[in-house]
Structure 1
Amino acid sequence: MLADVTEETTLDVVRAIARLEGRVRACGLTLRESADFAAFEAAVATTQDRYLMEDFSSRFFDLHGAQAFWIGARDEAGAVVSVQAAKVEDLRDRTLAEHWRQQQRRLFVDPAAEAELGTDHARDAFFMHGRIAYHGNLWLRKDFRGRGLAETLTQIGFLVALAKWSPDYLYGLMAAANALKGFGLRVGYRRFVPRGTHWIAAPSHIRPDDWLVYSTRADLITLAATIAVEGPE
């Protein structure tokens, strides 16, 4: 049984976010959380990559505050330094793998005739169900990389999702190279499956080697408690 979010847990989450935000402020950055995804698309358009994931695009979804948020970091000049987003799905009546079969086809196969979705998705996705949060579209400007900020910012996103939704699971899809280098573990993911969505023929802009990386609610509660006591390092 997954751990419940208690009053004590809530305080740990608040303390942990405060510690993490303090580290971000020490780097001269300010954070803003928003549910305005038109503003998110505008912020992404100012980044070097300009990469907007389909999962957070108004072309495919009507995202609002009850089910999604994004966090932006800006420097002292007001320029965008980082973006990330998260959303939650109520999958009590189906597994994550079943959700992928429908959603990934709509997002990626229908618009791309050359793409072909398989059925041999990550093993764990076939038993994951309930309130499932997805975290993605993480970007950090090059001049701020290598300082541990990617980990700090991602953990803030994880803990905001925990505070808002108390999800049964929070997951992402991560390039195999990053997962093998330990990035997923450093940001707070605790479970790793060497395959995400199964692609027979992936769309040109989608990596076919992504891993499913995820944490349970209990994992996120432990992460919050650890940061609250020991700090982000």
Structure 2
Amino acid sequence: MKENWLGAMQADQIGDETLDVARAAGLLQQQIRSAGLKLRESTDFTLFEDTIRATEDKYLMEDFSTRFFDLHGTSAFWIGAWDSAGEPVSVQAAKLEDLRDRSLGQYWQQQHRRIFVDPGAHAELGEDHAHDAFFMRGKIVYHGNLWLRRDARGKGLAEALTQLGFLISLLKWSPDYLYGLMAAQNAKKGFGIRVGYRRFVPRGTHWITPPGHIRPDDWLVYSNHNDLVTLARTIIAEDLE
């Protein structure tokens, strides 16, 4: 009888969690749309690449390129925002890795070597990656390729858009962790905490000789499952104030 009661209570908690996350995601969408932007979520990464080419930066991360990965709707999505003229204002992407058999640090050793080192002999990957990465296992979401047009910056949209990506990831996959790699300067200025990350490690991936387009000073920034749920409930609480 006690086990049945505990099971029912846990199910209620999960249900409340899902409702809170969905409500917070709705509040963020209202904020973004009130700025005159149209949102679209997609799992078509060919369209993602086309959208990236229409931005001023035109920067496509290898992690979200169909040249390197098979990106499917079950494990990857992207969100775009467009202005009233149909011009892209923001893009971001996320993908899920099931790392129950290895740590995130071990995953980096395999994938970064495959993507960056083997095709280009000038790059050399080290082994002294972020300490926390070697303890992170389970369902892990990588969030990246975040871009916001210059004229839209400084208006709170970066925070709202990024948090929306976090919460959509939480609703889709209920991950154990969600992480990104952030330039040290941005992390030190507090950008990571403003967009929703709650844990910071002053070393991301360790490069002895980085590829030409990769920053060697990135930080691992991440949140665990409970951090993301707390983020959603904080958004709701701030809306009620």
Q: Give the shorter-chain TM-score range.
A: over 0.9
2:44 corresponds in structure 1 to 36
1:15 corresponds in structure 2 to 23
Compare CA radii of gyration and give the structure with the larger one: 2
Query: Structure 1 residue 132 and structure 2 residue 136: aligned?
Result: no
Task: State the distance in 2 between where 1:232 and 1:104 align.
Answer: 44
TM-superposition CA deviations, 1:44-91 (whole Å, max 9, x none)? 000000000000001001101000000000001111110000000000
- Higher helix proportion: 2
* 1:215 paired residue among 207, 223, 241: 223
Task: State the distance in 2 between where 1:118 and 1:155 align.
Answer: 31
CA-based RMSD: 1.5
1:158 corresponds in structure 2 to 166
Task: State the distance in 1 between where 2:239 and 2:212 align.
Answer: 40
Q: Which runs of 5+ in 2 are unaligned?
A: 1-9
Pick which of 16-25 and 210-219 moved more. 16-25
The sequence identity of aligned pairs, in percent, is 68
3-state secondary structure, aligned to 1:231: helix
* 1:61 paired residue among 60, 66, 69: 69
Task: State the distance in 2 between where 1:205 and 1:42 align.
Answer: 20
Residue correspondences, number? 231
2:88 corresponds in structure 1 to 80
Structure 1: which 4+ aligned runs deviate by more than 6 Å? Answer: none
Structure number with the bigger relative contact order (C-alpha 8 A, sep ≥ 6) is: 1
Q: Which runs of 5+ in 1 are unaligned?
A: none
Task: State the distance in 1 between where 2:235 and 2:149 align.
Answer: 25
TM-score by length of 1: 0.97
TM-superposition CA deviations, 1:92-119 (whole Å, max 9, x none)? 0000000000001111111221100000
